[in-house]
Every structure is written in structure tokens, then in C-alpha cells.
Chain A
Amino acid sequence: MLDIKREYKNGYTVYNFINTTEPKMLEQLKVMIKNDMNQTYMFMFDFKNVDYLSVDDIKVLQKIYMMSVNYAFEIGIIGLSNQAEMMFEIFQLDQLYSVKKASNVFYGESYESSYSA
């Protein structure tokens, strides 16, 4: 089961990825993003709980990037492991997304809701 924890912080919608290996991840992400676009056009994908990114995960992120171009929303990336960072570099995703090193880039109050699909 794909589990993404959703948070709203300082104008960003933050998706905290727990597991990224679901084949249906792309469609689920698209639905989530479309719903959340009502609130903000700024998203942050947090991968601090993901140790390993597969090529399939990378393909999903490539397609989400295309969606972000079509709908003109912004996505930042935080919390990449060494392996994930290397996959971003190899597939040149680091040139598409804004990858931030530190995971504590947010300040202030937040609230959480869990999304399961």
C-alpha cells in the first residue's frame, strides 16, 4: 500500500513518502496533486523515509515533472539518501527539480493528515 503523509507548511504542500514501489503510484500522486492544487501551487516531496529509489520511481518523478510544467506548479525535493541522490544525478532529475540538502527547511506550525491508497 502506498502511504504518503501529507503536511501543509509555510505555503507548501509537503508529501512525505513512506514507500515508493507501488506500481499505481503515478496515478495516485496525480490525483493527490490535483486535489491539493486548490490550496497551493508549491509542493515539497520529502524522501527522508526512502532508502532506495528504483528506476520505476525515477520514471514516475519524470512524469510528475511534466505534469508540473503543464499545470505550472513548483516542486522541491528534500531528504534524499545517497543512493537516491545518485539516481537523481544519473537521470538528470537534479536539473529538473529543485533539490534541497537540508530536510529542516520549514519553520512554524503544521498539521498532518494521512493519505492511503
Chain B
Amino acid sequence: MYFMGRAMNLHIVLDTNNDYVFDKENLLSTPETINIAGKEIIHYWLEWARHKSYNTLYIYSARSIIDNKKNEMLQDLYGVKIVYQKPFELHGVKFDKDVYQGMGIFLDSGEYHYFKSLDDVFVLEQELIHKPLKYCALVGYGADDAIQVGKNVYIHKSVKFSGAVVIGDNCIIEKDVEIENSVISRGCLIKQRSIIKKSHIDQNIHMNMGLSLNKKALFESSIYDMMKKESYSHEGLCVKH
């Protein structure tokens, strides 16, 4: 056990280009809190760190909002220390080889899959819901391998699931809803008669009734069209809560 006791650190350096790409889409969140297949990106880094026995995760970002309470919870959950640093603090730091530039997640092969655009995120998400990463815990449990349902979820008996579906914790899916190959992040309310296909619903979204989303990503104040690769601001697609 040669590495026993030796401090191993994982460094993720978020660059300004990443910030620009995700700012432009008006997501109102820091890059590391963007959801993929029901989990924030920071969870993927922490699960990889735990899997590879890293002691500390360093995140270098100019605009990260450090939520101490959340960080403490994540540190307790994964057993990995999280340290946020500003990019100028990179100077003078002696890195080992475990430094990764830009926002991405680790694949089972060890490759760091870097996201150049929001579209990259949703392309990978579609792959991950069909074939989850082995080093990550699943978001939830289901009788069918392709359907993962989290904790404290209400699903009306008339709801139809097809393909691969991920439903995060604390969601309500009302009657006559159809969901196909999509991700509903935690805390969402999907109102009756909604149709969701190959789409992504961000966390804590309360959707209006009877919407039909096909290849869309719905955020609090914007919607991304995966076919046209364009974002639009919206009012009225979500119910304020």
C-alpha cells in the first residue's frame, strides 16, 4: 500500500471560456452546479475523488459562490475536502498530475469529458441515462434498470414512462403525463397532460399545465432548444413557487 497516507489532490480549473459559455445561456447557476442525469457536476467530481482516493478537491473559479453549509454536507457525504480558490491562487501552486482544465466530468475510462457548450452536456446526459457511470451511485431505484426514481416522489398511476427516465428526489408527477428518455431533476412539479421527450428539466421547476417539450432543456428563466442549439428567455412556462 505505497500510497497509504499520502495526500492526493484533485484540481479542477474552471476557465473564463467555460463561464462565458454557460453565462450566455442565462442559467443563473455556477457551472459546477449544473445538473447532468439528476446530479450536479460537483457530485461527479466528488464521487470520482472518492473512487480514486483523493483527499481534497480544489476548485479554481472566479465566480463560485461558496455555500459553506452545502460544502460541509458534501464533505461529510463523500469524505473528500472541498477547497474553493480564485484562479490567481494557481500561481505558485505545485501541482501533481491530477489537474483538469475546464468544466467536465470523468468517464469510467478515466477520460475527463470536457464540455464546450451546453449542447455537449445534454448529448452526454442522453448517453448517461441509458448507461450510467459505474463509479457513481444511481440517483434512485426502479423495477426497470432504465428508470431511476429518487426519494419522496409522487407519481400518478396514469403517468407513462418510456425509454430511460431519471426522476430526482422530491418530485411530483401529475396525471396523464408522458415522459420519454428524459431527466426530471429534484424538486420538480410536472403538471397534468405534459409531454416530455428527450428533454431535461432543471431542479425546482414547477411546470405549467399541458406543455409539450421535445429536445428542450427547461431552466427557471430560460429554455434551450437542443435542435436549434439556441436559448430563449421565457415567462409563464413555469409556475412561481
B214-A89 in contact (CB<8A): yes
What 1/0 mask marks residues of chain B from 209 to 233 whose CB sits below 8 Å from any chain A CB? 0111110100000010100101010
A90-B230 in contact (CB<8A): no
Contact of B212 among A55, A82, A83, A92 (CB under 8 A): A92
User: Does A56 have its Cβ within 8 Å of any Cβ on chain B?
Assistant: yes
Q: In chain A, what residue has the closest Cβ to B208?
A: A55
B232-A86 in contact (CB<8A): yes
Given pairs A82-B225, A82-B228, A91-B211, 9 additional interface contacts (CB within 8 A): A55-B208, A82-B232, A83-B232, A86-B232, A89-B212, A89-B214, A90-B213, A90-B216, A91-B212
Q: Within the complex, what minimum Cβ distance (angstroms) separates B187 from chain A? A: 21
Q: How large, as a class, is the contact surface on chain B?
A: 10 to 19
Cα of A56 to Cα of B235 in the assembled complex, Å: 9
Best-surrounded residue of B211, B223, B232 (most CB of chain A within 10 A): B232
CB-defined contacts of A56 to chain B, threshold 8 Å? 236
> What number of residue pairs across chains A and B have CB atoms under 8 A from each other?
31
User: Does A103 have its Cβ within 8 Å of any Cβ on chain B?
Assistant: no
Question: With A82-B228, A86-B225, A90-B216 given, is the CB distance from A54 to B236 under 8 Å?
Answer: yes
Cα of A55 to Cα of B212 in the assembled complex, Å: 14
Chain A residues within 8 Å of B, Cβ to Cβ: 54-56, 82-83, 86, 89-92
CB-defined contacts of B232 to chain A, threshold 8 Å? 82-83, 86
CB-defined contacts of B225 to chain A, threshold 8 Å? 82, 86
What 1/0 mask marks residues of chain B from 89 to 122 whose CB sits below 8 Å from any chain A CB? 0000000000000000000000000000000000
Best-surrounded residue of A54, A82, A83 (most CB of chain B within 10 A): A83
CB-defined contacts of A90 to chain B, threshold 8 Å? 211-213, 216, 223, 237
Cα of A86 to Cα of B215 in the assembled complex, Å: 11
CB-defined contacts of B211 to chain A, threshold 8 Å? 90-91
Cα of A91 to Cα of B212 in the assembled complex, Å: 6
Cα of A83 to Cα of B234 in the assembled complex, Å: 9
The 7 closest A-B pairs by CB, nearest first: A55-B236, A83-B232, A92-B212, A90-B211, A86-B225, A90-B212, A82-B228
Cα of A108 to Cα of B237 in the assembled complex, Å: 40
Interface residues of B in 132-156 (CB under 8 A from A): none
CB-defined contacts of A82 to chain B, threshold 8 Å? 225, 228, 230, 232
Q: Within the complex, what minimum Cβ distance (angstroms) separates A54 from chain B? A: 6
CB-defined contacts of A86 to chain B, threshold 8 Å? 216, 223, 225, 228, 232
Cα of A89 to Cα of B216 in the assembled complex, Å: 11
Q: In chain B, what residue has the closest Cβ to A95?
A: B212
CB-defined contacts of B216 to chain A, threshold 8 Å? 86, 90
What 1/0 mask marks residues of chain B from 185 to 223 whose CB sits below 8 Å from any chain A CB? 000000000000000000000001011111010000001
Q: List 27 A-B contacts (CB under 8 A).
A: A54-B235, A54-B236, A55-B208, A55-B234, A55-B235, A55-B236, A55-B237, A56-B236, A82-B225, A82-B232, A83-B232, A86-B216, A86-B223, A86-B225, A86-B228, A86-B232, A89-B212, A89-B214, A90-B211, A90-B212, A90-B213, A90-B216, A90-B237, A91-B210, A91-B212, A92-B210, A92-B212
